[in-house]
Amino acid sequence: MRPTFTIGIEEEYQTVDPVTRDLRSHISTEMLAKGKIRLEERVKAEMHQSVVEVGTRVCRTIGEARIDLYDLRRQMILLAREHNLLLVAGATHPFADWRKQEIYPDERYARVVEDLQSVARENLIFGLHVHVGIEDKEAAIRVMNSMRYFLPHILALSTNSPFWRGDKTGLKSYRAKVFDKFPRTNIPDSFASYSEFDDFVNLLIKTNCLDNAKKIWWDIRPHPFFSTIEVRICDIPMRAEETLAIAALIQATAAKLYRLHERNQDWRQYSRALIMENKWRAVRYGLDGKLIDFGKQIEVPERELIVEYIDFVDEVVDELQCRDAIAYIHTILREGTGADRQLKKFEETGDLKAVVDYMAEETQAGLF
């Protein structure tokens, strides 16, 4: 049976004090409780109390996902306003200090903190996760193996975390470096079959490394409970339209790679170590760097690679009804990622609070 290639999008937002522009807990204001009443299970807490996560329904097309995501962002922006908060889409806060943030009172998060200690408490970051429906587990593993190659390109498009605790880090995705302190992160190895992956998970459970496969936090994984592959490498973009463009590219990549497998073709497999070289370049330079074309053994400007990438998936985009969403990637290439635009605002103002204000404006761009 061919995969459905359904799409689901999860975004993690910052809740920010409009006066100090620092992160502020939303729990005491009961914002989360009201959100659950209005949005049901599409909104939930994360480990830190200044993080709120939303997730779309399972959508057949990126058009359906757009309607759901726009509604979620609008509702959460309005809820934040009702509780005298700003909602901000940024993968790190420009100057917040993780040591001042409270952990959400939940047994699951308490276990993570007990296990990982400061590594967990420092994890004050905000991501975008995209699920693509691939119901056959063997097909999901094959697509995941091939899709690993494209993850640095996808990360470069999403980069939106150039600041950390008041410092200009010099990286376009500092979030990636905060998160890779966790175990079981980054680019996964390839697996010969789903049963090999399953054996790996069962070994970790048997040896008390984890209690379930959700504690595998790779940049891409077969989801342990849904019939999806989940791409987790992205910073949360500032604009909803950026999220939709990146989600559409992820969906189209999965569909294109599956189509190759259907034809008894394949995307060349590269080692984790080589792909990690490209991931570092995406983390450091975003769209302004060069990635390695391992086949030709040369460096290629990232923007050129993204244009080639769009051409690569072109044969599936009309079937998926995502051409317009993917076309927005050209806007990202022209105007820069969230990281580029944050840095530009800081160069203009020299004020990180002004950067936060700009991020809040961009979070609601095109929604109202």
Q: How far is CA 300 from the centre of its chain?
A: 24
Return the pLDDT at 213: 87
As for how many domains the chain has, the answer is 1
Task: State the average pLDDT over residues 295-320.
Answer: 97
Task: State the average pLDDT over residues 326-343.
Answer: 98
Whose tokens are 């020299």? That residue is 350
* Cα three-residue angle 220-363-228, rounded to 5 degrees: 25
Is there a domain that residue 368 lies in? no
CATH (domain of 285): 3.30.590.20
Closest by CA position to 164, among listed 240, 90, 102:
90
Question: Which pLDDT band holds residue 307 (cuts at 50, 70, 90)?
Answer: very high
Is there a domain that residue 22 lies in? yes
Cα distance from N-terminal residue to C-terminal residue, the chain: 41
Is there a domain that residue 155 lies in? yes
Closest by CA position to 175, among listed 219, 220, 207:
219
Is there a domain that residue 163 lies in? yes
Inform me whether the pLDDT recorded for 141 exceeds 60. Answer: yes
- Structure tokens that stand for 334 in this block: 């022209």
Full residue range of the structural domain in which residue 202 is found: 7-363
- Structure tokens that stand for 158 in this block: 């999403």
Return the pLDDT at 127: 96
- Structure tokens that stand for 23 in this block: 């992160």
Three-state SS for the chain is CCCCCCEEEEEEEEEECCCCCCECCCCCCCHHHHHHHHHHHHEEECCECCEEEEECCCECCHHHHHHHHHHHHHHHHHHHHHCCCEEECCCCCCCCCHHHCCECCCHHHHHHHHHHCHHHHCCCCCEEEEEEECCCHHHHHHHHHHHHHHHHHHHHHHCCECEECCEECCCCEHHHHHHCCCCCCCCCCCCCCHHHHHHHHHHHHHCCCCCCHHHCCCCEEECCCCCEEEEEEEECCCCHHHHHHHHHHHHHHHHHHHHHHHCCCCCCCCCHHHHHHHHHHHHHHHHHCEEEECCCCEEEEHHHHHHHHHHHCHHHHHHHCCHHHHHCHHHHHHHCCHHHHHHHHHHHHCCHHHHHHHHHHHHCCCCC
Inform me whether the pLDDT recorded for 29 exceeds 60. Answer: no
Query: Do β-strands 163-164 and 43-45 pair in parallel, antiparallel, or remain unpaired?
Result: unpaired
Inform me whether the pLDDT recorded for 179 exceeds 80. Answer: yes
Is there a domain that residue 1 lies in? no
Task: State the average pLDDT over residues 36-61.
Answer: 76
Inform me whether the pLDDT recorded for 98 exceeds 80. Answer: no
Return the pLDDT at 270: 94
Q: What is the pLDDT of residues 152-173, one digit of tens each?
A: 999 999 999 999 999 999 999 9
- Other CB atoms within a 10 A radius of the CB of residue 270 amount to 18
Return the pLDDT at 27: 58
Amino acid in position 137? K
Q: What is the pLDDT of residues 86-96, one digit of tens each?
A: 999 999 999 99
Q: What percentage of the chain reaches a pLDDT higher than 70?
A: 92
**pTM higher than 0.85:** yes
Q: Across the strands, what pairs with 53?
A: 12, 44
- Structure tokens that stand for 179 in this block: 């998160």
- Structure tokens that stand for 237 in this block: 């973009």
Q: What is the pLDDT of residues 63-94, one digit of tens each?
A: 999 999 999 999 999 988 988 999 999 999 99
- Tell me how far apart the alpha carbons of residues 228 and 222 are, in angstroms, rounded to a whole number: 6
Return the pLDDT at 361: 98
Q: What percentage of the chain reaches a pLDDT higher than 90?
A: 76
